[in-house]
Structure 1
Amino acid sequence: MSVDKNKAFFGHPLGLSTLFASEMWERFSYYGMRALLVLFLTATFASGGFGMNEQDAFTIYGIFTGLVYVTPIIGGILADKVLGQRKSIYIGGLTMATGQFLLSASAWIHGSDVDLEFRQTLFYAGLGILIAGNGFFKPNISTMVGELYDNNDPRKDGGFTIFYMGINLGAFLSPLVAGKLGEQVAWQYGFLSAGVGMVIGTIWFFLRSHTLGHIGMPPKVKAERVRLVVKDWFGILTYWGCVVALIFGVILGWSALPSMVTTIIIYVLAIGGVLILATNIFKGTSGKAEWSRIGVILILALFNIFFWAGFEQAGTTFNIFARDNTQRMIGSWEIPATWFQSINAIYIVIFAPIFSVLWTILDKRKLNPNTPMKFAWGMIFLATGFVVMALAFTRSTHGDAVRLVSPLWLCLVYMLHTFGELCLSPIGLSMVTKLSPPKLVSTMMGIWMGSFAAGNFVASQMKAISLKLQEAMGADIQVFWMIAIQSAIIAVILVILSPWLKRMMHGIK
């Protein structure tokens, strides 16, 4: 028995509804936690937070959001070689729900009589378990969407568009629910709601798995098998238990190691990863044209870091600005600061179809910018957004006093940054699949995801960098102006390099 690819969900295979809702709930879980993270870490001990300074909270945020782009590489390999996508999704769902519940527990058990070190262990273990679970879940549900369609099925692009809407629907709803509960009721309820969302998504996937036919079953399983058996579920629970135990072991063991040893381990892993990637590239690339195209991917991956270093201020400095500098009162009701994290998702849903049509219209008129120029436009929109943000921050600060500004400032910034994202993010993913040698598509996609990881970490350090520049230059340097100028310079460099990079692509648009 195989999945009926003609049975319709808005004209698409019925299995798309299963994957759409499962991914929506997973994104609900992730973005709900992401919206709360910095605010929770900087909240007072009395309210259940950790009372951290902003920069320490930003660093933790950056490490977390960076690593969630690294673990899918491992999860994808395990699914391809050992587990299959379906088992991987169950492992990821159970693991991420566990991580969310541990974060909730770290907020729940607060007070003067509670051991801070124990709370920190629960918190860091929760983050680590979330990172590991994301590695199992994220790459494999997208793969299953592609397997619903034959390669020549004209509905395939539309199917991914519907799936992408599920991602943004979850990203839109989660700050409204988890953010409201976490900020205005209690932090633990925000994380708890994110965990419940992940459980709902996993249960939905289980109840609707019959719509997927054989898709996602473990490797070498006969085609007539469409459901997991007891042995498979034993394996899922074993992986889940081992991942949770491993993360707790790493958290406890890491703190016991001397700093020199942990530094050596980090360098060894980093150098080893780079050597493995370099070896794969050398083995899989042949001919001047392929090497030239690889060069384009690597150069644009570097520029991609700068884009996300700015864009991901959404969860750090923008989050703090929403909390401390934005007028959020409507009568006697206060808008939660986390709700502003939903704006980007709304804009994506509104403007993604418009940009898709725009590229088609420009192409027909032979005005469609090449890939490097689209990256330049992405950086221009990013820089413009930060100019607006810098003006808003200047307007809201008068010495030590703060004058709250209209939320429309943040709405405008998020709109401009969404335009930049639509010029760069989907274009970059398409570019990697087009320019990579056939044997290296997954490897180069891993490198591209690595640039997202680096960008997220750099984003967490931008305010610290601005403060160091301020000390060195003896002048007041606002972080938003710094990023605006940096982004504008990168845009100019991309415009200058665009003709050269276009030639390096050897005819691929």
Structure 2
Amino acid sequence: MSRDADKAFFGHPIGLSTLFASEMWERFSYYGMRALLVLFLTATFASGGFEMAELDAFTIYGIFTGLVYITPIFGGMLADKILGQRKSIYIGGLTMAMGQFLLAASAWMHGTDASMELRQTIFYAGLGILILGNGFFKPNISTMVGELYDNSDPRKDGGFTIFYMGINIGAFLSPLVAGKLGEQVAWQYGFMAAGVGMVLGTVWFFVRSHTLGQVGMPPKVKAERVRLAITDWFSILLYVIAIVGLTFAVILGWGAMPAKVSTAIIWIASIGGVLILGTTIFRGTSGKTEWNRVTVIIVLCIFNILFWSGFEQAGTTFNVFARDNTQRMIGTWEIPATWFQSINAFWIVVSAPIFSILWVKLDKMKLNPNTPMKFGWAMVLLSLGFVVMAIAYSRSTGGDSLRLVSPLWLIMVYLLHTFGELCLSPIGLSMITKLSPPKLVSTMMGIWFGTTAVGNFVASQMKAISLHLENALGREIQVFWLIAIQSAIFAVIIIVLAPTLKRLMHGIK
């Protein structure tokens, strides 16, 4: 790469602009659908929804967002060993677009002669295809960002923060567009908008792939090749067809299975996956230094679970709070509840450049906190956000009747959580690319997203956990206070562990 190209995008490699925009459109697609999911599932039959109970909708949301972050483990492994990152991104992009269009089709079928069973089959197939497609896309585009830089390049953390801005520009725009269309026009238009966004992201990646040089090409490819061959595109098409066919086969066959058989399959698949993953890590890691660094990754992944188990209330309890407990009227105009899903992304877009500059400035002053300490600050900020949320909920539900509270409460919560996110998420992505053994970068990136998956599912169950505690203790347990206290405790633990983890990183900052 020429010196000019290496600094052509705000002082970063020009390839970052390609990955930035591709991820922006992919996140537009994902967050547009995510903003609608719980509201769509709990909407009445008459409005085109499925009229589910709130806790059931939370569980489906948690399973979906959990599996969305589990499949990147296997997508990363396939990219490392067989496909390469570029082919994986095309496979993921095309399948995710199809998944969004299937969700739109399930909503469009409302009011036709289609049965509810058929609508649900189409809907769950769309979710399944989205889950598998994301597994191919998500870990590999992040890995490609890391490959644009040397590990010693001080711009790397800043590059990931800029990349994170792309994620959040998409996340900011999608609830405004897809959320508005789905919530206040018709559900299918919201899902269609998300599908179009995914198509645009894939097309952009294709048109601008020349800016990436050899980054992300399939393993063992000739050094001079910077474009995919016809045979590569043929295999991409086969993977897309296989994913769609497999998803429908599983959904149609799953309901016909006895419960014991389906449960056994889940256990076998889970244990098999863990064994394959463990074997892959064992074979790809060598020497004390690499094993110490892998240990650090595993410890920080645990705290990643704890962070997202709180943060991801955004799509469940926060979404319902915005709909039911927040004053959304401005004159005669009602703010869509989904628009509150854009607040976090807005704060990211505003704050990410500041954090990117901050880390570089602190590094020059030799005051830049190490990665574990940044995780500690993330947990502190998460806890403070839930303290604010707990107070807002108490003000809304105190007394004999429900009182709508100002939107400023949610805005403040999202601000604190955004600062926490910027101390953890882009730093975590950068950390994986720096600490992972060279043969396992995409695999470890998949594990990182896998722990995010666990955090997402735990987040969906926190309301149910608080209700179980209420029944066991015989007193009210507000979910927001529960998460605030939990986060504060774990913040203290990671801050205490930070010096030891820094030592195990062997010079990687």
**1:475 CA drift (Å):** 0.4
Q: For 1:269-288, what aligned pairs fall within 5 Å after superposition? A: 269-285=269-285
Question: 1:66 maps to what in 2?
Answer: 66
Q: Which residue matches 1:302?
A: 302
User: TM-score when scaled to structure 1?
Assistant: 0.90
- The answer for unaligned runs of 5 or more in structure 1 is none
> What's the counterpart of residue 411 of structure 1?
411
Q: For the residues of structure 1 that align with 2:373 and 2:185, how far apart are their CA atoms?
A: 46
- CA displacement, residues 166-197 of structure 1 (integer Å, 9 cap, x when unaligned): 22111111111000001110111000110111
Contact 2:143/2:433, CA 8 A, preserved across alignment: no
8 A Cα contact 1:3 1:213, kept in partner = no
Alpha-carbon separation, structure 2, partners of 1:368 and 1:215 = 29
Q: Deviations over 1:267-307 (max 9, x none)?
A: 11222222233334444555666555444333332222111
Structure-1 separation of matches of 2:379 and 2:118: 43
Contact 2:392–2:405 (CA under 8 A) maintained in structure 1: yes
Distance in 1 (CA, whole Å) between partners of 2:241 and 2:486 is 45
What displacement does 1:116 show? 1.3
1:167 counterpart residue number: 167
User: Which is further off, 273-282 or 477-486?
Assistant: 273-282
Structure 2 residues not aligned, in runs of 5+: none
Partner of 2:31 in structure 1?
31
Residue 427 of structure 2 corresponds to residue 427 of structure 1: yes
1:139 — aligned with what?
139
Q: In the aligned structure 2, how far is the partner of 1:222 from the partner of 1:276? A: 29
Task: Map residues 193-232 of structure 1 onto 2, 5 A cutoff.
Answer: 193-212=193-212, 215-222=215-222, 225-228=225-228, 230-232=230-232
Q: Read off the aligned partner of 1:134 and give its amino acid letter.
A: N
Task: Name the residue aligned to 1:126.
Answer: 126
Q: Note the alpha carbon deviations across 1:304-339, whole angstroms, 9 max, x for none.
A: 211110000011100111111111111111111111
- Check the 8 A contact 2:143/2:441 in 1, yes or no: no
Taking the TM superposition and a 5 Å limit, the aligned residue runs for 1:75-474 are 75-111=75-111, 113-147=113-147, 159-212=159-212, 215-222=215-222, 225-228=225-228, 230-285=230-285, 291-362=291-362, 367-398=367-398, 401-438=401-438, 440-474=440-474
- Offset, 1:218: 4.0
What is the rounded CA distance, in whole Å, between the counterparts of 1:213 and 1:367 in structure 2?
35
CA distance in 1, matches of 2:87, 2:169: 25
Greater displacement, 213-222 / 368-377: 213-222
The equivalent residue for 1:20 is 20
What is the alpha-carbon distance in structure 2 between the residues aligned to residue 194 and residue 161 of structure 1?
24
Contact 1:292 1:505 in 2 (8 A): yes
Amino acid at match of 1:380: V
1:487: how far off? 1.1
Higher RCO (CA < 8 A, seq sep 6+) = 2
For the residue of structure 2 that corresponds to 1:50, the secondary structure is: coil
Counterpart Cα distance in 2 of 1:138 and 1:100: 16
C-alpha contact (below 8 Å) 1:290/1:437 kept by paired residues: yes
Give the whole-Å Cα distance in 1 for the aligned partners of 2:411 and 2:117.
39
Q: Secondary structure at the match of 1:475?
A: coil
Question: CA separation in 1, counterparts of 2:329 and 2:60?
Answer: 30
**Alpha-carbon contact 1:75-1:88 (below 8 Å) kept:** yes
Residue 480 of structure 1 corresponds to: 480
Alpha-carbon distance between aligned partners in 2 of 1:277 and 1:228, rounded to the nearest angstrom: 28
Instruction: Write the distance in 2 (CA, Å) between the matches of 1:53 and 1:59.
Output: 10
Q: What is the distance in 1 between the residues matched to 2:477 and 2:330?
A: 33
Whether the 8 Å contact between 1:463 and 1:479 is mirrored in structure 2 is: yes
**In the superposition, relative to structure 1, how do residues 326 and 100 fare at CA in structure 2: closer, same or farther (>3 Å)?**
same
| Partner in structure 1 of residue 55 of structure 2 | 55
1:495 lines up with 2:470 in the alignment: no
Range 213-222 or range 109-118, more displaced? 213-222
CA distance in 1, matches of 2:505, 2:244: 44
RMSD: 3.0
Relative to structure 1, the CA distance from residue 272 to residue 345 in structure 2 (aligned partners, 3 Å threshold; closer, same or farther) is same
CA distance in 2, matches of 1:154, 1:505: 17
Checking the alignment, whether the CA contact within 8 Å between 1:3 and 1:211 is kept in structure 2 is: no
CA contact (8 A) 1:45 1:111 kept: no
In the superposition, relative to structure 1, how do residues 396 and 267 fare at CA in structure 2: closer, same or farther (>3 Å)?
A: same
Change beyond 3 A, Cα 1:200–1:119: same
Q: Alpha carbons of 1:353 and 1:458: their partners in 2 closer, same or farther (altered >3 Å)?
A: same
Contact 2:79-2:442 within 8 A present in 1 as well: no
Determine if contact 2:105/2:122 at 8 Å carries over to the other structure: yes
Alpha-carbon distance between aligned partners in 2 of 1:256 and 1:3, rounded to the nearest angstrom: 60
Check 1:475–1:152 CA distance in 2 against 1; reply closer, same or farther (3 A cut): closer
User: Closer, same or farther in 2 for the Cα pair 1:214/1:358, shift >3 Å?
Assistant: closer
User: How far apart are the structure 2 equivalents of 1:257 and 1:241?
Assistant: 24
Q: Secondary structure at the match of 2:255?
A: helix
Deviation larger for 212-221 or 259-268: 212-221
Cα displacement (A) at 1:401: 2.7
- CA shift for structure 1 position 374: 2.6
Give distance in 2, aligned partners of 1:490 and 1:36.
31
How far apart are 1:205 and its partner, in Å? 3.0
Change (3 A) 1:490 1:211: closer
Once the two structures are superposed, residues 381-428 of structure 1 have per-residue CA deviations (whole angstroms, 9 ceiling, x without a partner) of 111111110111111114663211110000000011111112222333
Q: 1:209 to 1:127 in 2, by over 3 A?
A: same
| Cα pair 2:76 2:445 within 8 Å, conserved | no
Tell me the CA shift for residue 161 of structure 1: 4.3
1:503 shift after superposition: 4.9
Contact 1:32/1:179 (<8 A) preserved: yes
Deviates more, 1:426-435 or 1:55-64: 426-435
Summarize the Cα distance change of 1:183–1:252 in structure 2 as closer, same or farther, 3 Å threshold: same
**Whole-angstrom distance in 2 between the partners of 1:154 and 1:372:** 18
Specify the code of the residue in structure 2 equivalent to 1:187. W
Q: Does the 8 Å CA contact 2:310/2:459 hold for their aligned counterparts?
A: yes
Give, as a single letter, the amino acid of the residue that structure 2 aligns with 1:200: L
Q: Distance in 1 between matches of 2:30 and 2:306?
A: 23
Question: Quick one: structure 1 residues 327 and 76, their matched pair in 2 at CA, closer, same or farther if it must change by over 3 Å?
Answer: same
**Residues 1:369 and 1:102: Cα distance change in structure 2 (over 3 Å):** same
Counterpart amino acid of 2:62? Answer: G
| Matched residue type, 2:200 | I
